[in-house]
Amino acid sequence: MNNPKIFYHGDSTAIIKFGDKIDEDINILVHKFLESLVRGFSEYSSILDIYPTYNSIIIDYDPNKILYENIKEKINLINSEFDSSDNEKKHYKIIEIPVKYGGEFGPDLKRMSKALNITEKKIIQIHSSQKYRVHMIGFMPGFPYLGGLDKRISFPRLDEPRLAVPEGSVGIAGDQTGIYPFSSPGGWNIIGRTNLKLFDSKKNPPNLINSGSYIKFKIQND
């Protein structure tokens, strides 16, 4: 594989970067290499956490137990043994998310329709017809950042974020779509809402959706 960039951030974080753009193939590579890293560092008590982003992997470590140079050396060793030739897309289970679009559940849909010169029905059809890869979980526990949004319905964030976005709200911001697992402030354009609970701390695992998986939205009419 092409050598990723490895650098440190602060005194207790190492970053492995595979590219600068949001890209499904890069994200697939990130998750594949993540598996090798988790195995390679499995016996290192000095490693506190390893997790993916869109195009990078972040390693949090205890600088009192291990040096960045030692982590970088181990990463390079893992990379030298890493085989990306079978980097085809895995057949993940697709999680179906029922969504009530528009009206009180999607207060920004009408404004988007007018600005994009696309009917609300067409926006809903486009949004619900795609299969979306979960590139990462972030912003808050259980919030999935999804890749694969059709550029026809790409739309900029709100100029002024709302103070409260209802739990389960499905939104669009730029070229991304996502789901709010909890009520919170937010600047995404809300086009619908799901009644599925995305995060439950009482369950193991607590996340309904994990990075590297796929979801599809289903129109719920009742």
The C-alpha torsion from 153 through 156 and 158 to 159, rounded to 10°, is -150
pLDDT-derived band at 213, boundaries 50, 70, 90: confident
Contact 109, 123 (CB under 8 A): yes
Please give the C-alpha separations between residue 187 and each of 36, 51, 130, 158, 195, in angstroms, as whole numbers: 36, 25, 23, 5, 20
CA distance 165 to 184: 5
Place of tokens 């026809």: 152
pLDDT digits (tens, 9 = 90+) for 15-63: 999 988 888 888 888 888 988 899 999 889 999 999 888 889 999 999 9
Mean pLDDT for all residues in the chain: 89
Which domains are delineated in the chain? 5-80 (3.30.1360.40), 94-219 (2.40.100.10)
pLDDT-derived band at 122, boundaries 50, 70, 90: very high
Q: Which residues of 129-143 are buried (b: 16+ CB within 10 A; e: fewer)?
A: ebebbbbbbeeeebb
pLDDT digits (tens, 9 = 90+) for 190-206: 999 999 998 888 888 78
Longest dimension (CA), the chain: 58
Q: Please determine, for residue 174, whether its predicted confidence score (pLDDT) is greater than 60.
A: yes
Tell me what pLDDT residue 221 has.
Answer: 82
Contact 177, 146 (CB under 8 A): yes
Prior bond to 185 cis, omega within 30? no
